[in-house]
A and B are shown apart, each in its own frame.
Chain A
């Protein structure tokens, strides 16, 4: 398993950089992960989504898809793409320190 270092701590990630163990994540890590994903500054809206992702993961064992995020987070899909241009579900999951959303088969 590859690892990465954020906020001076080593964490386990998969090939694509998604956390394998969400418990290793701390809030201080988020801005650093965000920069690696091309987001220089985390706004309040970003944080709202990051917290939402972690809560959903804790409850359901997988992060939500973009469509579910658009229906449940209170932020529209259009705005979600403005916040996370490279794909809201994946980028937000990465910054929130949860595994890659399982998506659908």
Chain B
């Protein structure tokens, strides 16, 4: 009998898993349906470049439905809630979808209103974010007329999508104001809740060193309690104050709101409890999770979502066939870190191995944890690969889902 696979979310993870599933399962074996609330697919890594005029929104948005291959049904409606016991999805347009397998791919949302004062006076005038398309566009205009003062880049708390993006923003701001010839009149400060520039020790040291070289001040262990746009201050829960003329804030993230409205589906932050290796949810065996919506202990990144695709699709096939799930995701993450002046770094890590220097994917590949022009080209290339390899659900030649180990300098690893 034909099985019904329903995928909630048609972003990175929903699109690539639908296309992969459609390729391995015939239309007799399974119907594949994708649900999303709108029809605009944003290439989110491009948002980093918008405030600096290096990309424009129209270049990074495409029609969602166009990214889905033939034989996939697309439903444009917001999800209202999921009824796990009845195996039903209730949509805001009042229709109901039943499923044999449900894939949660609704990503993460921004919840700026959870931070006191953040969306109050000054929001989008003096206090900005580049994490949403609207925010990135407004920030572009604000930066263009900024001619001196203190810019503070603040991460309110983890988890956030692409945890290196705010650091990249700092590096690009250093480049941007240097290009405009006013770098000496702009003070740049990076304010983070972490105890260093990044979460993992070797990379944190390297990135912290780069901030210092570029004259960007680093404030650590700052848990933002409130933002006062009118006064131009961030205040931490332990009473420290950082003043700004312009703030770029990465707001708190949560899972999609409907997760909270679906009894038994999400955790306290509306992310879905998920087995970190099989990608089967811990809430029901017929519910799988991909991308930012999962609570697995790795970065919320498009590269992670891509690497998860292979294990997810394999395991859904096995589940439908009544077999044991044996495909295993290792937490592989691969990020280019744009560092300004036409250069970038590359980091590569998984659940067990932190980012190390060396080369990727082997001894003759791209330099790891080191600035190079080649990595910058890699970052630009990622956009092409996103539309043409990632979303269609193809493997990228030479880049496997499992993290490669040769080419890496292991002795620098701590444990």
Q: Which residues of A contact B163 (CB under 8 A)?
A: 105
Q: Which residues of B contact A67 (CB under 8 A)?
A: 157, 252, 269
Query: A38 → chain B, closest Cβ, in Å?
Result: 12
Contact B225 A105 (CB under 8 A): no
A 65-76 to B, binary, CB cutoff 8 A, 1 in contact else 0:
111100110000
Query: B208 → chain A, closest Cβ, in Å?
Result: 17
B372 within 8 A of A: no
State the CA gap A34–B190 with chains docked (Å).
32
* Known A66-B157, A72-B268, A105-B159; contact A77-B199, beta-carbon cutoff 8 A: no
A78 within 8 A of B: yes
A 52-95 to B, binary, CB cutoff 8 A, 1 in contact else 0:
00000000000011111001100001101100011100000000
B387 within 8 A of A: no
Contact B157 A77 (CB under 8 A): no
Contact A66 B223 (CB under 8 A): yes
Using CB atoms, name the residue of chain A closest to B351: A105
B298 within 8 A of A: yes
Q: Which residues of B contact A103 (CB under 8 A)?
A: 158, 199
Q: Which residues of A contact B223 (CB under 8 A)?
A: 66, 87
Contact A78 B225 (CB under 8 A): yes
State the CA gap A104–B238 with chains docked (Å).
21
Contact A105 B199 (CB under 8 A): yes
Contact A68 B298 (CB under 8 A): no
State the CA gap A86–B252 with chains docked (Å).
21
Query: A93 → chain B, closest Cβ, in Å?
Result: 15
State the CA gap A28–B297 with chains docked (Å).
33
B 209-233 to A, binary, CB cutoff 8 A, 1 in contact else 0:
0000000000001010100000000
Contact A81 B237 (CB under 8 A): yes
Contact B237 A71 (CB under 8 A): no
Contact B268 A68 (CB under 8 A): yes
State the CA gap A78–B239 with chains docked (Å).
10
Contact A105 B238 (CB under 8 A): no
Interface size on A, residues (CB 8 A): 18
Contact B157 A65 (CB under 8 A): yes
Partner of A104, one of B158, B221, B225: B158
Q: Which residues of B contact A105 (CB under 8 A)?
A: 158-159, 163, 199-200, 297-299
Contact A71 B268 (CB under 8 A): yes
State the CA gap A86–B223 with chains docked (Å).
11
Q: Counting chain A CB atoms within 10 Å of each CB, which of B223, B225, B297, B299 scores highest?
A: B223
* Known A66-B223, A87-B221; contact A81-B238, beta-carbon cutoff 8 A: yes
Q: Counting chain A CB atoms within 10 Å of each CB, which of B159, B237, B299 scores highest?
A: B237
Using CB atoms, name the residue of chain A closest to B333: A105
Using CB atoms, name the residue of chain B closest to A85: B238
B 24-68 to A, binary, CB cutoff 8 A, 1 in contact else 0:
000000000000000000000000000000000000000000000
Using CB atoms, name the residue of chain A closest to B269: A68
Contact B159 A104 (CB under 8 A): yes
B residues sitting closer than 8 Å to A (CB atoms) are 157-159, 163, 199-200, 221, 223, 225, 237-238, 252, 268-269, 297-299
Query: Can you give 19 A-B contacts (C-beta < 8 A)?
Result: A65-B157, A66-B157, A67-B157, A67-B252, A68-B269, A71-B268, A72-B268, A80-B237, A81-B225, A81-B237, A85-B238, A103-B199, A104-B158, A104-B199, A105-B163, A105-B200, A105-B297, A105-B298, A105-B299
A residues sitting closer than 8 Å to B (CB atoms) are 64-68, 71-72, 77-78, 80-81, 85-87, 102-105
In addition to A65-B157, A85-B238, A103-B158, 8 A-B residue pairs with Cβ atoms within 8 Å of each other are A67-B157, A71-B268, A72-B268, A81-B225, A87-B223, A102-B297, A104-B158, A104-B199
Q: Which 7 A-B pairs have the closest CB atoms?
A: A104-B158, A104-B159, A81-B237, A71-B268, A68-B268, A105-B199, A72-B268
